[in-house]
Chain A
Amino acid sequence: LSHTHSDCCCYHNSPKSYILLKTWDPALKKRDDFEDILEERRSSSDLRYALRCYVPVVYKGIAPCKPGVLKTAVLQSDRLRHVVAEMSKETGESADVIREEASGILEEMAHRLRLGTVRFFAYSLSKAFKALFQRVRVNEDGIQRLQQSIQEHPVVLLPSHRSYMDFLIMSYILYTYDLSLPVIAAGMDFLGMKIVGEMLRMSGAFFIRRSFGGDKLYWAVFSEYVKTMLRNGYAPIEFFLEGTRSRTCKSLTPKLGLLNIVMEPFFKGEVFDVSLVPISISYERVLEEALYARELLGVPKPKESTSGLLKARKILSEDYGSIHVYFGHPVSLRSLAQGRINRSQYNLLPRHIPRRPSQETQAFVNETAYRLVRLQEENMVLRPWVLVAALLLQNPDGVDMERLVEQTSWLRGLAVSFGAFLDWPGNTKAVASSLALHTGLVRTEGGRAQLAMEPKEPGSPEEDLFDRAASVLSCASYRNQILHVFLRPALLGMAMQMAEASRKDDIYSCFSFLRDVFSNEFILCPGGTVQDFDEACYMLTKCAAVHVQKQEVVATEKGQRILSFLTSLFQPFLKGYQVGPAPFLELVDYPRHFCFLGFLPSLTCYEALSSDVQKNALAALLRMKVVRKLKV
Chain B
Amino acid sequence: MASESFGSEEEEQQQQQQRRRRADRRVRALSGHLEGRAEQARDGPPTERDTELRSRSAVPRRRQEVMKWNGWGYSDSRFFFNKKGQAELTGKRYRLSGSLIPGLKDWFEGTFGADLKHESPAKVALCAGAVPPPSLGEAFVAGLQAAALPFSVETEDRAFRSHGHCLHEIFALRRGKVGRVPDLVVWPGCHDDVVKIIKLACQHNVCLIPYGGGTSVSNALECPVEEPRAIVSVDTSQMNRILWVDEKNLTVHVEAGIIGQDLERHLGEQGYCTGHEPDSMEFSSLGGWVATRASGMKKNVYGNIEDLVVHVRMVTPRGVIEKSCLGPRVSIGPDVHHFVLGSEGTLGVITEVTLKIRPIPAYRKYGSVVFPDFERGVACLREVARQRCAPASIRLMDNKQFHFGQALKPQVSSIFTSFLDGLKKFYITKVKGFDPQCLCVATLLFEGDRERVLWHEKQVYDIAAKFGGLAAGEDNGQRGYMLTFVIAYLRDLGMDYYVIGESFETSVPWDRVLDLCRNVKEQVVRECRERGVQFSPLCTCRVTQTYDAGACVYFYFAFNYRGLADPIHVYEQVEQTARAEILANGGSLSHHHGVGKLRKQWMREAVSDAGLGMLRSVKEYVDPDNIFGNRNLL
List residues of chain A with CB under 8 Å of any chain B CB: 269-270, 272-273, 342-344, 346-347, 350-351
Contact = CB atoms under 8 A, between A and B. Distances in A.
A251 to B, nearest CB: 32
Interface in B497-556: 511-512, 515-516, 518-519, 522-523
A344 B522 contact: no
Nearest to A153: B522
A269 B584 contact: yes
B586 A272 contact: no
Given A272-B519, A351-B512, 16 more contacts: A269-B515, A269-B516, A269-B584, A269-B586, A270-B515, A272-B518, A272-B523, A273-B522, A342-B584, A343-B584, A343-B585, A344-B584, A346-B586, A347-B586, A350-B511, A351-B511
A344 B511 contact: no
A269 B523 contact: no
B586 to A, nearest CB: 4
A272 B539 CA distance: 15
Interface string B316-343: 0000000000000000000000000000
B434 to A, nearest CB: 16
18 contacts: A269-B512, A269-B515, A269-B516, A269-B519, A269-B585, A269-B586, A270-B515, A272-B519, A272-B522, A272-B523, A343-B584, A344-B583, A344-B584, A344-B586, A344-B605, A346-B586, A350-B511, A351-B511
A350 B509 CA distance: 10
Nearest to B584: A343
Contacts of A270: 515
A347 B516 CA distance: 12
A351 B605 CA distance: 20
Interface in B572-603: 583-586
Contacts of A347: 586
Contacts of A344: 583-584, 586, 605
Contacts of A342: 584
A346 B523 CA distance: 19
A541 B522 CA distance: 45
Contacts of A346: 586
Contacts of A350: 511
The size class of the interface chain B forms with chain A is 10 to 19
Nearest to B522: A272
A265 to B, nearest CB: 9
Nearest to B518: A272
Interface in B91-105: none
A411 B523 CA distance: 47
Contacts of B584: 269, 342-344
A273 B522 CA distance: 10
Contacts of B519: 269, 272
For the complex of A and B, 3 pairs with smallest distance between CB atoms: A343-B584, A269-B585, A347-B586
A74 B451 CA distance: 45
Contacts of A272: 518-519, 522-523
B352 to A, nearest CB: 38
Contacts of B518: 272
A574 to B, nearest CB: 47
B146 to A, nearest CB: 53
Nearest to A270: B515
B376 to A, nearest CB: 16
A295 to B, nearest CB: 46
Contacts of B511: 350-351
A224 to B, nearest CB: 16
B419 to A, nearest CB: 33
A360 to B, nearest CB: 14
Contacts of B515: 269-270
Interface string B370-414: 000000000000000000000000000000000000000000000
Interface string B564-578: 000000000000000
A347 B583 CA distance: 9
A270 B586 CA distance: 11
Query: Chain A CB within 10 Å — which of B516, B583, B584, B585 has the most?
Result: B584
Nearest to B523: A272
A346 B586 CA distance: 8
Interface in B137-152: none
Nearest to A343: B584
A467 to B, nearest CB: 59
A235 to B, nearest CB: 20
B489 to A, nearest CB: 33
A272 B524 CA distance: 12
A356 to B, nearest CB: 20
Nearest to B606: A344
A321 B516 CA distance: 51
Nearest to A266: B519
A270 B583 CA distance: 14
Contacts of A343: 584-585
Nearest to A351: B511
A446 to B, nearest CB: 64
Query: Chain B CB within 10 Å — which of A270, A342, A350 has the most?
Result: A270
Nearest to B514: A270
A344 to B, nearest CB: 5
A608 B584 CA distance: 51
A246 to B, nearest CB: 36
A343 B518 CA distance: 16
A345 to B, nearest CB: 9
Contacts of B583: 344
